[in-house]
Amino acid sequence: MWEFLIGRLTALMTLGIGTLLIVLFPLVKKENTYFAWIGLIIGCFIIAILLFWVFGNAVYRGQFLDT
């Protein structure tokens, strides 16, 4: 039971960090263009890795999509 909860919370926190990096892009771009683009690329990379991790493995796919 704890593995299920820890897996979902880890995915939620990872998705939140990736989304935060993407959403903060316009604010950071006003200060430093290079840092903003790096943050945007890393945010997209984090979300892509998370989606690959969840949908690429049948065990994780069943854990996250079945309620």
For residue range 19-32, list pLDDT tens digits in order.
Answer: 999 999 999 999 99
Sign of CA dihedral 6, 8, 14, 16: negative
What is the model's pLDDT at position 1? Answer: 67
- Which residues of the chain register pLDDT less than 50? none
Q: Which range of residues forms the domain containing residue 48? A: 2-65
Task: State residue 12's pLDDT score.
Answer: 87
In this predicted structure, what is the pLDDT of residue 5? 79
Query: How many domains, the chain?
Result: 1
- Separation of alpha carbons 39 and 42, rounded Å: 5
Name the residue type at position 40. L
Please report the pLDDT score of residue 67 as a whole number. Answer: 55
